[in-house]
Structure 1
Amino acid sequence: MVRKNLSFFTLKSSSRVLIHKGLHHSREVFNPCIGKCKFHVEVKKKKMLPTTNHHIETEIEDRTEDIAGSSGHGHRHTVDKSTRIIPDTKLGGYEFWKSIGSPKHVVAPMVDQSELAFRILAHNHGAHLAYTPMFHSKVFKNDETYRTLHFQFLENEGPVFAQFCANDPDTFVECGWLAWEMSNHKISAIDLNLGCPQRIAKKGRYGSYIMENFDLVYSLINKAHKELPVPVTAKIRIFEDIELTLKYVDTVVSAGAQVLCVHGRTRDQRGHNQNYADWEVIKLIREHVPQIPVIANGNVRMYQDVLDCLEYTGVDAVMSAEPLLCNPALFNGGTHICPIELCDQYLDICERYPPPEHSFVKRHIFHILDRPIGTQNHFRAMLGNAHNMEQYRKFVNYLKGQKETLYLDAPQYEPSIMVVRDPANHPIDKKPKGRGCQQVDLNEEEASSALDRIANTSR
């Protein structure tokens, strides 16, 4: 018998983990991934939603077999700058938007989470456009091994924007060219991340921590607009001051951004302070720049939110991040897909297009099964002890025989409310209601470290 003393981590969002404190009791259970193990279960009481014993089965179009290309991993790329020719005419604004199918459902850029396999899964369930994970421009430019491993792209995958954080215009442009070349000239656009609020972004001076530097933002976008063969786009957060936000938008658009994605929260609205995204400000921005497509990001946890946001703000598309991780079928029109079935589909795709690291797979399974598992930490321990594709598959297959103990019905969310600011222009003092991907305690760096410790527990 293998004896383990584990500290359990409950994955709650793409960037946070809740650590249950205090050991309550021990338990021995058969782990289908590794056999028998004894572990300490940490219990945190949680309000349960009512469950039913049925779900709606649907047939989806499996696009996996129709996607052409290699295994999805990049090939060694030799830079030949003599072949870099900027086309005489380059589509922009709504001409560009129409050329990629006028998408309405968008997969957000998520570090180590919007990889090829997950993008395919989301496309199979109604997503129209996807972003790559955010890549650090200096690392992407200088580290060929990192670039080859992490830049995964298939020519027939569908429209994809490659996103980079950057604070040097030359480096940003070079990354744009590399992405263009590594995708065999198929990447749709190059996106500048101006919204990352994490502490590591502050230390590295990128993301939302350069949003006050209008000159730098302008130079980054303008150089890319002039020197890249595809459109440049930008993803921003808002300021608390609406007038300053509109001036910021003017800077981004005048620099040459052809699509603008607006996360309707300020830089400080993250973690414990992550309140409702401000759809009213997104609506004002939509009206302020009618010449380019605008994507709304924030408060999209169910399909009704997609419809409400499109109608209320007038934007061209809606993006989802953390809720999409919990429900990759969020964009499929409101039809509930069994989470175990979603895990099966994701693992099938991973077998053909392996993610850069196995930790990607574990995080996705944690997200999708977070609500079904609830407080049953012995299931979390089993997944925590799995660290390869065979064990992930065994775990999911094991859960198929435990359905009566899981919460597999559709979550009962309340649609997101329409949010406006008060006359004094203060941040909104409200938090989203409903279950699903709950807000929890750790930032992205701490969450990654915690998940790594989970993966290493059984080694």
Structure 2
Amino acid sequence: MLSRIAAPMVGQSDLPFRTLVQRYGATLVYTQMLKSDLILNEQDYLEYHLRDLTISPSCSERPVVVQLCGNDPDTVVQAGRKFQSYCQGIDLNLGCPQKVAQEGHFGGYLLGKKDWPVVEQMVSAMSNSFTVPVSAKLRICPAAEKTLDLAQRLEDAGASWLTLHARTVAPNRRRHGAADLSQVKRLKNNLNIPVVSNGNVRVWDDLEYNLEATEADGLMVAEALLENPCLFTNKIPDPVDISLEYLAICRAFPETTPLDVIIAHIRHFVNFQSHRRPWFRKFRAALTACKTLDEIERLLRVQVERWRGRVPRLIDEEEVDVHDSADEETPLEVVEDFDSLFLQ
């Protein structure tokens, strides 16, 4: 089966969420985009993101890719060395469209041809320095026809695989029109390394269509997984069930996810099926007011069930135990052949 990948999402690709989507069909997950300069200069930032990787069970069945951003080869390499023992791949972000990326001149703002030399230098330095494979996630270049040229340069520089979010950079809009899947197919037809397609997936049927249209080696999904983390298994979970399961994972891996991120995930889960319900506004207000995981759990088990016309669920500690437990810190095994991650 082709690889099904949870995309890097700033403030959303926390360990509990990555664990959740891996339970439901994701064969590979990415961390959120990490800033290389902060990794080297802010100890709290480094320790927080290392904890996210080292507190989790370490096994090759749960591959994770760390995504870095930056515009200096030496800085990116030094930052990556901090993480290479705890992941199974390191990705260079060449697609972030946010204003912070524009101001810092990284991500999608390195796709102009004048910046290709430094991009090639970064990928080359990474591939020659790390003990894990290196990839890059990019968007369509400002001159779309040049995207393949850049991709071939990245392949020559040592990238083990490439992901194309087949849209151009649009800083004021998250999605600027439909993704141009023909660009993904063009890369697939002309590169010798695996190509992953990203874009135009909202529901289960989109998965098959995307893969047929692009012939890609894998499919990366972002926002659709936030609403339905079971998308890769063609299931639509009960919103309370999936929310409680996520909360249980958060309890198993404490201090890896801020409360506001947890609240955002719960809101997405419930919004997916219930945003038209008359009680949804009250739910959002009550959820935002929650200060602890216990308060969120009580809101779900008692109030939301009542709003849905159901009997409130008992709050039983045994019911919220997570199946996974936090192991001691152990580096992940290095995958020598990354192609194996594109097979299940």
**TM class by smaller structure:** 0.7 to 0.9
Number of residue pairs matched? 298
1:248 aligns with 2:130: no
The correspondence of residues 24-103 of structure 1 with structure 2, limited to 5 A, is none
1:209 aligns with 2:83: no
User: In 2, Cα distance between the equivalents of 1:240 and 1:146?
Assistant: 33
Residue 240 (structure 1) shift: 5.0
1:300 aligns with 2:205: no
Q: Which residue of 2 aligns with 1:276?
A: 178
1:178 aligns with 2:82: yes
Q: Which residue of 295, 304, 310 corresponds with 1:399?
A: 304
Residue 103 (structure 1) shift: 5.2
Q: Which residue of 2 aligns with 1:311?
A: 212
Q: Which residue of 1 aligns with 2:251?
A: 351
Aligned residue for 1:134, secondary structure, equals: strand
Residue 239 (structure 1) shift: 2.3
Residue 356 (structure 1) shift: 3.2
Native 8 Å contact 2:111 2:142 kept in 1: no
- Structure 1 pair 252–366 and aligned structure 2 pair: CA distance change class (3 A): same
User: In 2, Cα distance between the equivalents of 1:384 and 1:372?
Assistant: 19
Q: Percent identity?
A: 34
Q: Which residue of 239, 258, 266 corresponds with 1:339?
A: 239
Q: Which residue of 1 aligns with 2:11?
A: 112
- Specify every segment of 5 or more residues in structure 2 that has no aligned partner in the other structure, as ranges: 311-344
- Structure 1 pair 297–270 and aligned structure 2 pair: CA distance change class (3 A): farther
Native 8 Å contact 1:103 1:129 kept in 2: no
Q: Which residue of 1 aligns with 2:187?
A: 285
Q: Which residue of 1 aligns with 2:136?
A: 234
Q: Which residue of 1 aligns with 2:72?
A: 168
What code does the residue aligned with 1:207 have? G
Residues 20-62 of structure 1: CA deviation (Å, up to 9, x unaligned) = xxxxxxxxxxxxxxxxxxxxxxxxxxxxxxxxxxxxxxxxxxx
What code does the residue aligned with 2:20 have? L
User: In 2, Cα distance between the equivalents of 1:343 and 1:123?
Assistant: 15
User: In 1, Cα distance between the equivalents of 2:237 and 2:80?
Assistant: 37
The correspondence of residues 408-427 of structure 1 with structure 2, limited to 5 A, is none
1:188 aligns with 2:188: no
> Once superposed, what is the RMSD of the aligned Cα atoms?
1.7
- Specify every segment of 5 or more residues in structure 1 that has no aligned partner in the other structure, as ranges: 1-101, 406-459
- Structure 1 pair 209–352 and aligned structure 2 pair: CA distance change class (3 A): same
1:133 aligns with 2:32: yes
User: In 2, Cα distance between the equivalents of 1:279 and 1:179?
Assistant: 32
1:368 aligns with 2:272: no
User: In 1, Cα distance between the equivalents of 2:246 and 2:214?
Assistant: 33
Aligned residue for 1:257, secondary structure, equals: coil
User: In 1, Cα distance between the equivalents of 2:150 and 2:171?
Assistant: 18
User: In 2, Cα distance between the equivalents of 1:170 and 1:239?
Assistant: 24
User: In 2, Cα distance between the equivalents of 1:195 and 1:247?
Assistant: 16
User: In 2, Cα distance between the equivalents of 1:140 and 1:400?
Assistant: 43
1:324 aligns with 2:220: no
Residue 277 (structure 1) shift: 0.7
Residues 88-116 of structure 1: CA deviation (Å, up to 9, x unaligned) = xxxxxxxxxxxxxx751100001121111
User: In 2, Cα distance between the equivalents of 1:103 and 1:348?
Assistant: 29
Residues 147-189 of structure 1: CA deviation (Å, up to 9, x unaligned) = 11133123126111100111111111111110024x2xxx111
> TM-score, normalised to structure 2's length?
0.83
Residue 243 (structure 1) shift: 2.3
1:147 aligns with 2:51: no
What code does the residue aligned with 1:318 have? L
Q: Which residue of 2 aligns with 1:389?
A: 293
Q: Which residue of 264, 274, 284 corresponds with 1:380?
A: 284
User: In 2, Cα distance between the equivalents of 1:235 and 1:223?
Assistant: 16
Greater fraction helix = 2
Aligned residue for 1:139, secondary structure, equals: helix
- Structure 1 pair 103–177 and aligned structure 2 pair: CA distance change class (3 A): farther
Q: Which residue of 1 aligns with 2:322?
A: none
1:265 aligns with 2:164: no
What code does the residue aligned with 2:243 have? C
User: In 2, Cα distance between the equivalents of 1:336 and 1:403?
Assistant: 17
User: In 1, Cα distance between the equivalents of 2:2 and 2:243?
Assistant: 25
Residues 281-312 of structure 1: CA deviation (Å, up to 9, x unaligned) = 111111111x1111100011112111111122
Q: Which residue of 1 aligns with 2:335?
A: none
Native 8 Å contact 1:269 1:275 kept in 2: no
Native 8 Å contact 1:295 1:316 kept in 2: yes
